[in-house]
Chain A
Amino acid sequence: MKTMRFFLIKLFGAITLPMALLACVTINIYFPAAAAEKVADQIIEDVWGKQPAAAEPASKPSGVPKKPEKSSRNFYKMPQTVALGLLNILISPAQAAEADINIATPAIDALRGSMKARHGALEAYYDSGAVGLTNDALIAEHDAAAIPLQDRNSVKKLIADENNDRSALYREIANANNQPEWEADIRGTFAKQWVENARSGWWYQDASGAWKQK
């Protein structure tokens, strides 16, 4: 009886101890950052079209699939990937599989379509610096002087409509994955990826809110 109880306590400890240890780690990676970056890139590429690669000194000759940006980014992601890999061993595959992000819903498709259609009108304003990317994954007027007076309000509307779509998109991606609490993380991921995918010459806000030109 006594040994039985001891065994149970030991068993309980054996289960709970690693769980307790894991708990703090699991919360940190609960949001699948890598998967989110992937879907963000996918959506951004769809909305903006394929962006010409940023002019870098080590640009590959054409014909060769050029992904110099990707490889450098993967380098930075490595610690995270390793952490994820470790975690895949520790937690069940079923849970790991849930770390995919689903963006195949009619609502998300509709928002992508609407943003894509609007991009034709917005692109010239990104190019001229009139509109820039904010650090909360939206867009804002950066240099009003670059917009003819008669177009200032239509640009304001483009910005407002785009921001409505973007906010709905981030919320909907979270909802479509049954994780409404991911919204802020998804927004954060997008904030980073919009800038990453931005064409050189476009303006964006850094973390402190200061405008910078890519």
Chain B
Amino acid sequence: MKRTVPARNFLAPLILVFVLVSIPAAAVDTLHFDMAVVEGPGWKAENVALGIDWRSPTDAAITISAARLQLPPPLTRLTEVMLTCPNTIINAEAMRCQGGTLHLKYPVLDSADINVDLTYYQASGALDVSLKNIRLAGGAGNVTGRLTPAGWQFDVMGKALDTAKLPAVVQDFMDWPTDIKSTGKLTIDAHLVGRENKLGGLKLNGAVSSLNFSDADGHRASEKLATNFQINAQPGPNNDWNFHGRVSANAGQLYLEPIFLEFPRTGIKLSTRGIWNSKRNKLSFTQLGLDHPEVAQAQARLELKLNPLQVESATLKVVDAAFAPFYKTYLQPLLIGTAFDALESTGRIGIEMSYQTQSVASVTVKMNDASLKDGQGRFGLNGMNGKLAWTRGTTSLHSDFGWQDGHVYKLALGTSRLKLQSSQGNLELLKPTNLPVLDGALQIKNLNVQKLGTPDMSLQLTGALTPVSMEAFSAAMDWPLMSGKFSSVIPNLSYTKNAINIGGDLQVRVFDGAVTVRNLRLEQPFGVLPLLSADIAINKIDLDALTRTFSFGKIQGKLSGAIDDLRMANWVPVAFNARFATPADDKSRHRISQKAVNSLSSLGGASGMLSRSLLRFFDEFSYARLGLSCRLSKGVCEMGGVEPAENGYYIVKGGGIPRIDVRGFATEVDWNVLVERLKNATRSEGPVVQ
């Protein structure tokens, strides 16, 4: 006979079996029952066959099979189900199937046959299920459970399950990335409760060992990872699932670009609490706690939108971490490619951060007796204390941050403290502040930073540079000691597009004259190739002081000139248009020593000329004008003097007695050669003149 049996729940067919089995044995010995379709809410079995073979009124062999099954997710791929109970004990209270076999096909099942014990209690309508020795995913599992009209509960245990085979199962339950390949062993112990086809709660304990996984492009991977986890989940209202759990890893390595973690034996622990809503595709971690021993303790909240995965909002708080290990593990990877990716650091650091609508909303960094030092020695700060805060919100955040000392390249910075205020993405100085630099100070009147941390970041500063002595400056630069000082009013210093532009003139009082630096621009100040450009005007510096400082050979007189279009790459000149000469109105004494003559002529490639001539009997000479020009381009200096001479130019034009002319003939000199000559001239004591 064939008929369709509507059934209200999973238990319906069993009740039917029980009813049939209870038919008085005398009447029939064998019963075969075919049903085209058996169905309930969310499930359907087609071509169901039931066979009962009575051996005695209390003992029967039962076979139930279904050719096709449509089960609710996640059991959609279960096929070829056949239950065989060769020994079914039947009495008034219960029907017991012992030593039965459940045959079914499912993607990860290694063996289609599972040992099964079933007991159905007539009075309560409860069914006890025990599935033993399930061979699946390279390992083994057991399932025990009880189904009653009021609900069901199952204990699922799995051991030595091969993680490579699990995505096939997991994909039935949730979206799981298909590009992740793994090897490893999983042990799980789960307790599930529910009613009909609804899961009502889950407790899961698990451990994974020797886990190696990687996604296709290697952004997420692990090696020999050992981790254990616990999850507790209960349904809440409106399709919510409330969960709490923890994950702990204590061996192996994990790479979640760009963070790399090597797990210590003591373990890195993550605990969490949150809500998952599959209908709204939302996953909220209302509480996330990271315990990374000796590196960081962090708390976070995270709101995720799933499918596709997107961070909706997040907050992060790292309290008082040791700067050095925290920088190495969590900051440096984020800073790779910037000037801050090779820092040495000490002290303590704390960070608070919030993220909203796909960008960082605010950041606060707290430092406690911290220091940082650039690996290439370009900058460093010691004794950093206080708080730096930035926000793109409208409620302003205040910063109070200072350091004991530091340096930018060779310029030493003194103790400073800055009070700043941030709102709407800007950062501005609250009150004028002095930043000591060498023995002077940068007096900052206004400081304003926009779009901090973006490529469009810009900074404006107005203020002044109070006098820095040339002694201090030249000592810092490892130059010969000079006297004098420099200072400047800074009507506008700006930093945009990775370049510093200084409006206003930098006034240098040196060698009793004045040097004015204009249009100072520094591109990529901390990049691999800092580019400096400027125009420099020199007004009546005293050659006596200059030549003494550089032991070039004594020259008396004044010198004026200019270095226009100066361009330095990596602090070495690559181009300029320079000319220096005795000013036309110079009334001072014009004398030049033998050594200076030799030095000057050596610049033109000649040397020792003087010592071979009669002029060697004079210590010094009188001159009318002297001067030199060099237009540097493409490594070649196009040279000239104070005025043209036959086949060349005058470097020194004689006047008075004893008179001397120094002429240059080389019009194009290799810049490196010229620098070498200049170094030699200022280093050596010059030719000995007798």
Chain B residue numbers with a CB within 8 Å of A104 are 635, 672
Q: Which residue of A lies closest to B338 (CB)?
A: A160
In the complex, chain B residues whose CB is within 8 Å of the CB of A144: 217-219, 221
**Which one of B9-17, B32-40, B71-79, B564-572 is at the A interface?**
B564-572
| A148 vs B223: C-alpha distance when bound (angstroms) | 9
Question: When the two chains form their complex, are residues A105 and B219 in contact, meaning their CB atoms are under 8 A apart?
Answer: no
Interface residues in B235-273 by Cβ distance below 8 A to A read 253-255, 257-258, 260, 262
A106–B218 touching, CB < 8 Å: no
Residues of A within 8 A of B253 (CB): 149-150
Are B336 and A107 interface neighbours, CB within 8 A?
no
Q: Which of A145, A148, A165, A177 contacts B528 (CB 8 A)?
A: A165
Whether B635 contacts A149 by the Cβ 8 Å rule is no
Q: A111 to B528, Cβ gap below 8 A?
A: yes
B671 CB, nearest partner CB in chain A, Å: 9
> Is A152 in contact with chain B by the CB < 8 A criterion?
yes
Specify which chain B residues have a CB less than 8 angstroms from the CB of A153 in the assembled complex. Answer: 258, 260, 332-333, 336
Number of A residues near B (Cβ < 8 Å) is: 32
Kindly list chain B residues whose C-beta atoms are within 8 Å of the C-beta of A96. none
| Stretch of A8-16, A70-78, A168-176 on the interface side | A168-176
> For residue B262, which residues in chain A have a CB less than 8 angstroms away from its CB?
150
Q: In the assembly, what is the distance between CA of A156 and CA of B575, in Å?
A: 35
B529 CB contacts on chain A under 8 angstroms: 107, 110-111, 168, 171-172
Contact A164 B528 (CB under 8 A): yes
In chain B between 516 and 572, which residues have their CB closer than 8 angstroms to a CB of chain A?
A: 524, 527-529, 531, 567, 569-570, 572
> How far apart are A182's CB and chain B's nearest CB, in angstroms?
13
Task: Give the chain A neighbours of B217 by CB distance below 8 A.
Answer: 144
Smallest Cβ distance from B615 to chain A, in angstroms? 37
Contact A168 B527 (CB under 8 A): yes
Given contacts A107-B529, A164-B527, A175-B574, contact A157 B218 (CB under 8 A): no
Tell me if B260 and A150 are in contact (CB < 8 A): yes
CA distance A111 to B253 in the complex (A): 35
Q: Which residues of B contact A110 (CB under 8 A)?
A: 529, 570
- List B contacts of A208 (CB < 8 A): none
Q: Which of A149, A171, A172, A175 lies in contact with B260, CB distance below 8 A? A: A149
B385 interfacial contact with A, CB 8 Å: no
**B337 CB within 8 Å of chain A:** yes
Is A107 a contact partner of B569 (Cβ separation < 8 A)? yes
- B574:A105 contact, CB within 8 angstroms: yes
Q: Do A102 and B336 contact each other (CB < 8 Å), given the known contacts A107-B572, A153-B258?
A: no
The answer to whether A149 touches B528 (Cβ under 8 A) is: no
Bound-state Cα–Cα, A144 to B218, Å: 5
Q: Is B634 an interface residue (CB 8 A)?
A: yes
B111: A residues at CB distance < 8 A: none
Given A144-B218, A156-B258, A107 contacting B635 (CB threshold 8 A) = no
In the complex, what distance in Å separates the CA atom of A147 from the CA atom of B257? Answer: 13
Chain A contacts of B524 at CB under 8 A?
Answer: 168
The answer, yes or no, to whether B382 is at the interface (CB within 8 Å) is: no
Indicate if A143 sits at the interface (CB-CB under 8 A). Answer: yes
CB distance from B77 to the nearest CB of A (A): 31
Q: Is B405 an interface residue (CB 8 A)?
A: no
Q: Report if A26 contacts B (CB, 8 A).
A: no
Select from chain A the residue with minimum beta-carbon distance to B332: A153
Check A160/B634 contact, CB under 8 A, given A165-B528, A168-B527, A176-B574.
no
Which A residues are CB-close (under 8 A) to B574? 105-107, 175-176
Q: Which residues of B contact A152 (CB under 8 A)?
A: 218, 255, 257-258, 260
Are A178 and B336 CB-contacts (below 8 A) given A107-B570, A152-B255? no
Nearest Cβ on chain B to A94's Cβ, whole angstroms: 14
How many angstroms from the CA of A178 to the CA of B567 in the assembled complex? 11
- Indicate whether A81 reaches chain B with its CB closer than 8 angstroms: no
Nearest A residue (CB) for B221: A149
User: Is residue B341 within 8 Å, beta carbon to beta carbon, of the partner chain?
Assistant: yes
**Complex contacts, A156 vs chain B, CB 8 Å:** 258, 333, 336
**B contact residues around A51 at 8 Å (CB):** none
Q: Are B634 and A145 interface neighbours, CB within 8 A?
A: no
Check A88 for interface membership: any CB of B closer than 8 A.
Answer: no
**A160 — which chain B residues lie within 8 A by C-beta?**
336-337, 341
Contact with B along A18-59 (1 / 0, CB 8 A): 000000000000000000000000000000000000000000
In the complex, which residues of chain A have a beta carbon less than 8 angstroms from the beta carbon of B633? 178
Which of A143, A149, A177 makes the CB contact (< 8 A) with B255?
A149
Q: How far is the CA of A114 from the CA of B528 in the complex (A)?
A: 10
Distance between B670 CB and nearest chain A CB, rounded to angstroms = 9
Q: How far is the CB of A142 from chain B (nearest CB, A)?
A: 10
B421 CB–A CB distance under 8 Å: no
Q: Which residue of B lies closest to A141 (CB)?
A: B218
A110 to B569, CA, bound (A): 10
Q: How far is the CA of A141 from the CA of B254 in the complex (A)?
A: 19
Contact with A along B332-364 (1 / 0, CB 8 A): 110011000110000000000000000000000
Q: How far apart sit A104 and B632, CA to CA, in the bound complex (Å)? A: 13
Is B214's beta carbon under 8 Å from chain A? yes
- Which residues of chain A from 169 to 194 have a CB within 8 Å of any chain B CB? 171-172, 175-178
Chain B residues positioned under 8 Å from A114 (CB to CB): 528
Residue pair B569, A157 in contact (C-beta under 8 Å) = no
List chain A residues, Cβ under 8 A from B635. 102, 104-105, 176
Q: How far is the CB of A144 from chain B (nearest CB, A)?
A: 3
**Contact A177–B634 (Cβ < 8 Å):** yes
Which residues from chain B contact A105 at a C-beta distance below 8 Å? 569, 572, 574, 635
Task: Say how far B435's CB is from chain A's closest CB, in angstroms.
Answer: 28
- With A102-B634, A107-B529, A107-B574 as given contacts, are A145 and B336 in contact (CB-CB < 8 Å)? no
How many whole Å from A85's CB to the nearest CB in chain B? 24
Question: A156 vs B342: C-alpha distance in the bound complex, in angstroms?
Answer: 13
Complex Cα distance, B527 from A40, in Å, reads 22
Q: Hey, which bits of chain B sit against chain A, CB under 8 A?
A: 214, 217-219, 221-223, 253-255, 257-258, 260, 262, 332-333, 336-337, 341-342, 524, 527-529, 531, 567, 569-570, 572, 574-575, 633-635, 672
Given known contacts A110-B570, A145-B218, A164-B337, what 10 new A-B pairs fall within 8 Å (CB)? A105-B569, A106-B574, A145-B214, A150-B253, A153-B260, A153-B336, A160-B336, A172-B529, A172-B569, A178-B634
Q: Would you list 25 pairs from A and B whose C-beta atoms are within 8 A, ordered by A residue? A: A102-B634, A104-B635, A105-B569, A105-B574, A106-B574, A107-B570, A143-B218, A144-B218, A145-B218, A145-B221, A149-B254, A149-B260, A152-B260, A153-B260, A153-B333, A153-B336, A156-B336, A160-B341, A161-B337, A164-B528, A165-B528, A168-B524, A168-B527, A172-B569, A175-B567
Across the A-B interface, the 3 shortest Cβ-Cβ residue pairs = A144-B218, A160-B337, A107-B569
